[in-house]
Structure 1
Amino acid sequence: MQVAIAGLGRMGAGMARRAARGGHDVVAWNRTEAVTAAVAAEPENEGRVSVADPLERLVEMTAAPRHVVISVPSGDATDAMIEQLAAILEPGDVIIDAGNSRFHDSKRHAAELATKGIEWLDMGVSGGVWGLEVGFCAMLGGKREVFERFEPVVKTLAPENGYLYCGDAGAGHYTKMVHNGIEYAIMQAYGEGFDILHAGEYDVDLAAVSRMWNNGSVIRSWLLGLAGNAFEKEGNDLTDIHGWVADSGEGRWTVAEAIDHDVPAPVITLSLIQRFRSRREPDSYTDRVLAALRNEFGGHAIKERK
């Protein structure tokens, strides 16, 4: 199947590579053409990635009905990209937003594009920089028949049983929002637990603890494995990690939804507030663990110490 991808950042480039290596023909655009050219030249992609520049070439090089995945930062950048694509796409074409957009925005985009006859899917994606290797977990919202048209690509991008049609427009990004709220809480719990171990009277090898817990224990997880990776690289003290923990928005939106629906969500809420605190107070060990984890799974930069 042919698929277009606009935006080759960490996630977009990973999706382009995985789609191409899975047998799909990818037409790719990026603001910096050299990035697209570099991906297209990778021998592992078997010549299945073509460079589209300028953006209008994305339409010229793809056959209708087109499926255009956008992978750019949420908010203004996504709005601008959708506006540009809507001006050059044809009725029946599909825009798939694979960024971390707020579900309200996804519903708005779907309604606006419908007036032009352009179809919509929102695709919440989890997997970070590891998605190329292990697959991208994908949560999709929009019309079911549009999802079914795009499903061959999704099936390639995702690991086995790793994608789901979640409902109408916005449902994919709503599900991903809650996923990220849960992620905040899990990371906070791991950070606090390792902080206690680190502060305690025993000189425990935290990388070894992470590996041991990840074999048979009830708290085993991929995130725990990444914590082990961080301890192996940085050592028990995480001395070179600055405990400044960013948030990308979904945790805030999850808490706002909890409030709107009268759902008590104290653990998720406090995990978000702890991230705010990390930016105002001297870095704690817990915050260093969280910063290290964000770097491991998403390639998020670690803030330099002043």
Structure 2
Amino acid sequence: MLIGIIGLGKMGGNITKKLLKNNHTCAVFDKNRTNIKNIEKKGAIGAKSLKCLVLSLSSPRTIWLMLPAGKITEKIILKLRQYMGKGDTILDGSNGYFKKDIKRSEKLVKRGINYIDVGVSGGIWGLKRGYCLMIGGNKKIFLKKKYIFCNLSSNKGYMYCGKVGSGHFVKMIHNGIEYGMMQSYAEGFDMMKNIKKTNVFYKHRYKLNLYDISEIWRRGSVIESWLLDLISVSLANDVKLKEFNGKVNDSGEVRWLIQTALEESMPLEVLTTSLYVRFNSRNYNRYGNKLLSAMRKQFGGHLEHFED
């Protein structure tokens, strides 16, 4: 099948490569011409503009967007509306806000364009491991595009979550849980690294090897996970994490999660605190915050390097 893909960054580039490996033909566009040239070497068909991309696809067209959520995605969809027609489908793989999905879909449906929101997890490892996909939208359209999700995921790691917005809603919750898990690991390792000399344990302890601890916890422990695997990789490279400055960014989804919880008068103690810790990290340099940055780099390629 011929699929159009817009956005060839870390995620979009790998998604294109995975589709190409599964014998799909991919027409691609990115504002960075170098990204297009690099993916053309893998067998994709590069387009010079959004219009050229759309015209290169036969009806009914399928276009996957892998762009940052917000203004950029909104701008591109508005442009695509000019060129796409009845029966065409837009798949939005950004970490979008589910409320905006609903409004966006209503506008596209008036022109006969289908809209599917896809929450994508797997980061830069998705090419090798397969992606976890959470999908919302019209179920009939989901079933027609099921082959795409099947080829991108691993072990049937895709799910139809419900009507439009459901995919991004579930991904929003997923990212909140991810924040909480990361924060738990960060605080635990931070304590082992920085326990005060006045503590009785400090006076009698051997020097703790954080890398060895991460490795042993990966072997049968109840807290073993892929995040712990990535921690181990980071500590193997540099247990002091000198590469990172301890300032941890947030990509926005958990802010929406907290807003939604407030609307529902629902307490989310751990998830709210994990977001606030990231805010606070921009003022204080702690080992645990460096570990958060290291995890973000390992699974998503997010760069938060040390700065003087």
Corresponding residue to 2:66 among 48, 71, 76: 71
Q: What is the rounded CA distance, in whole Å, between the counterparts of 2:131 and 2:75 in structure 1? A: 25
Instruction: State the match for 2:223 in structure 1.
Output: 219
- Post-superposition shift, 1:218? 0.7
Corresponding residue to 2:260 among 257, 260, 274: 257
Instruction: State the match for 1:267 in structure 2.
Output: 270
- Post-superposition shift, 1:8? 0.4
Deviations 1:126-181 (A, max 9, x none): 11111111011110100001111111011111111311000000000000000000
Tell whether 2:201 aligns with 1:206. Answer: no
Instruction: State the match for 2:238 in structure 1.
Output: 234
Classify the secondary structure of the residue corresponding to 2:155.
coil
- Post-superposition shift, 1:260? 1.4
Tell whether 2:120 aligns with 1:125. Answer: yes
Classify the secondary structure of the residue corresponding to 1:145.
helix
Instruction: State the match for 1:169 in structure 2.
Output: 164
Deviations 1:272-302 (A, max 9, x none): 0000100122x11111110111111111111
Corresponding residue to 1:295 among 294, 297, 308: 297
Instruction: State the match for 1:22 in structure 2.
Output: 22
Range that drifts further, 109-118 or 210-219: 210-219
Instruction: State the match for 2:130 in structure 1.
Output: 135
Query: Kindly, what percent of the aligned residue pairs are identical?
Result: 36
Corresponding residue to 1:193 among 179, 185, 188: 188
Q: What is the rounded CA distance, in whole Å, between the counterparts of 1:72 and 1:154 in structure 2? A: 18
Classify the secondary structure of the residue corresponding to 1:87.
helix
Tell whether 2:41 aligns with 1:37. Answer: no
In the alignment, structure 1 segments of 5+ residues that lack a partner are none
- Post-superposition shift, 1:244? 0.2
In the alignment, structure 2 segments of 5+ residues that lack a partner are 196-201
Corresponding residue to 1:159 among 146, 154, 159: 154
Q: What is the rounded CA distance, in whole Å, between the counterparts of 2:34 and 2:286 in structure 1? A: 40
Q: What is the rounded CA distance, in whole Å, between the counterparts of 2:49 and 2:185 in structure 1? A: 45
Tell whether 2:239 aligns with 1:244. Answer: no
* TM-score (norm. length: structure 2): 0.95
- Post-superposition shift, 1:303? 3.8
Q: What is the rounded CA distance, in whole Å, between the counterparts of 2:306 and 2:167 in structure 1? A: 34
Q: What is the rounded CA distance, in whole Å, between the counterparts of 1:34 and 1:247 in structure 2? A: 28
Larger Rg: 2
Classify the secondary structure of the residue corresponding to 2:83.
coil
Letter in 2 for 1:29: F
Classify the secondary structure of the residue corresponding to 1:258.
helix
Aligned length: 299
Range that drifts further, 57-66 or 138-147: 57-66
Q: What is the rounded CA distance, in whole Å, between the counterparts of 1:58 and 1:275 in structure 2? A: 39
Classify the secondary structure of the residue corresponding to 2:154.
coil
Q: What is the rounded CA distance, in whole Å, between the counterparts of 2:40 and 2:128 in structure 1? A: 18
Range that drifts further, 50-59 or 265-274: 50-59
Instruction: State the match for 1:86 in structure 2.
Output: 81
* TM-score (norm. length: structure 1): 0.95
Letter in 2 for 1:226: L
Q: What is the rounded CA distance, in whole Å, between the counterparts of 1:303 and 1:83 in structure 2? A: 35
Classify the secondary structure of the residue corresponding to 2:90.
strand
